[in-house]
Amino acid sequence: MIEFTQKHLLTLADWSPADILVTLNLADRLKTMRKNHVPHPLLAGKTLAMIFTKSSTRTRVSFEVGIHELGGYGLFLSGGDIQLGRGETIADTARVLSRYVDGIMIRTFRQSDVEALAQYGAVPVINGLTDDYHPCQILADLMTIRERKGELAGRRLAFIGDGNNVANSLLLGCAKTGMHIAVASPEGYEPSAQVISRAREIARKTGGSVLITREPREAVRGADAVYTDVWASMGQESQQAERRAALISYHVDEALMGLAASDALFLHCLPAHRGEEVAPGVIDGPHSAVFDEAENRLHAQKAIMALLMGQPETLCKI
């Protein structure tokens, strides 16, 4: 019997190291089955409502393909398509959708909206991205690192740039898995102080560590993986010039990558702006694992859906 304790994926802060390990192991199995053309309809007859108030490439396609491959159906709902966009409350939306579907994935701005869906709904809720967290991305990242490097515990990851939703979730995911994470951000662009405190608390129990620094070179030195993200996230376009000025020295180029381990991975959640946060020679070079990472969104999210929406006895058979 698979031991898994979660009903929702709102943030990795709620998930135990064991829950993360179960998810990664299942993602690996599902990836192998897909490569070998082995059907795995673990969610046959199930429907996933997919709410998007932020546009998407990877999140929409990976969830829609993923639920289809699991034997279910994905129902795309844009913010303009449903009454939520015309003032219906999150609580009412959650109650109504729970009468129709078996799970809800939402990609939106406010973390409070995701939490309200889980509070008032009666089906599993998956955070596809908010301004605060991006847990699905980080599970795919951990899967990618583990594929390339083996056991996660003791590995070193450096995040360079804006301390955004990806950085917040990386702090939690790395801490939960016993990794050492260093985040280099300019003043005023650090990750959430609350998340940093929580990650340090977790790392003390798992053998990991958390370093917050202003200096990219300090963060990257000896790292097994170097990660960055765009300087202006969705909804921050009006701050582009200000953010570029603050983050211009947080550019991952070949010289910075040279301070990492000789076999270090380069990671990026995409989309990427070559010539801004990352040099073309890095993202398109031999260290880059960004397209494996993007592919693993599919496999990790299939595992998330199967665990949250499926039956344990069915999962044990694969």
Active-site residue set: 107, 134, 137, 229, 269, 297
Residues contacting 152, CB < 8 A, separation 6+: 142, 145, 146, 177, 178, 179
Closest to 66 in 3D by CA, of 303, 291, 292, 290? 303
**Is residue 139 within 8 Å of 173, Cβ to Cβ?**
yes
Neighbours of 137 (CB within 10 A): 28
Closest CA to 139 of 296, 8, 16, 271: 296
Q: In whole angstroms, give the CA distance from residue 66 to residue 300.
A: 9
Identify the CA nearest to 276 among candidates 310, 223, 230. 230
Largest Cα–Cα distance of the chain, in whole Å? Answer: 55
* Beta-bridge partners for 47: 73
| Number of Cβ atoms within 10 Å of the Cβ of 211 | 14
Structure tokens at 243: 């953010």
